[in-house]
Amino acid sequence: MGLFITFEGIEGSGKTTQFELLKSYLEKMGRSVLAIREPGGSVLGERIREILLNSGGVGICPVSELFLYEACRAELVKDVIGPALKSNKTVICDRFIDSTIAYQGFGRGIGIKDIERVNNMAAGGVAPDVTFLLDMDPGAGLERAWKRINATNTGINREDRFEKEGLEFHSRVREGYLRLSMAEPERIKVIDGARDVRLVHGDICAVVDKIIR
Q: How many Å apart are CA 40 and CA 72, to the nearest integer?
A: 6
Write the DSSP symbol of residue 156.
G
According to the binding rule CB under 6 A, does residue 9 interact with ligand T5A? yes
Distance separating alpha carbons of residues 35 and 94, to the nearest angstrom: 8
| 69 near ligand T5A (CB under 6 A) | yes
What binding mask, one character per residue, do residues 114-143 give for ligand T5A by CB under 6 A, x or -? ------------------------------
Binding residue for ligand T5A (CB under 6 A) from 2, 4, 5, 13?
A: 13
Instruction: Tell me if 100 contacts ligand T5A by CB under 6 A.
Output: yes
Q: Which of 50, 162, 171, 205 binds ligand T5A (CB under 6 A)?
A: 162
Q: Does 197 bind ligand T5A (CB under 6 A)?
A: yes
Contact between 158 and ligand T5A (CB under 6 A)? no
Give the binding-site size for ligand T5A (rule: CB under 6 A). 27
Closest to 90 measured CA to CA, from 1, 24, 197: 1
**Region of 97 on the Ramachandran plot (φ > 0 left; ψ -120 to 50 alpha; else beta):** alpha
Question: Does the footprint of ligand T5A cover residue 159 (CB under 6 A)?
Answer: yes
Q: Are strands 130-135 and 33-37 parallel, antiparallel or unpaired?
A: unpaired
Contact 168, 37 (CB under 8 A): no
- Tell whether residue 144 is a contact of ligand T5A (CB under 6 A): yes
The phi and psi torsions of 34 (rounded to 5 degrees) equal -115, 120
Say how far apart CA 42 and CA 47 lie, in whole Å.
Answer: 9
Nearest distance, CB of residue 95 and ligand T5A, angstroms: 4
By CB under 6 A, tell whether 12 contacts ligand T5A. Answer: yes
- Interface region with ligand T5A, contact rule CB under 6 A, candidates 22-30, 95-103, 124-132, 181-189: 95-103
CB of 183 to ligand T5A, least distance (A): 18
Angle at alpha carbon of residue 67, lines to 64 and 69, rounded to 5° = 110
Helices (H) and strands (E) in the chain, counts: 9, 5
Tell which residue, 85, 83, 97, has the closest CA to residue 39. 97
- Contact pick of 34, 81, 200, 204 for ligand T5A (by CB under 6 A): 200
Residues forming the site for ligand T5A (CB under 6 A)? 9, 11-17, 37-39, 53, 69, 95, 99-100, 103-104, 144-145, 147-148, 159, 162, 196-197, 200
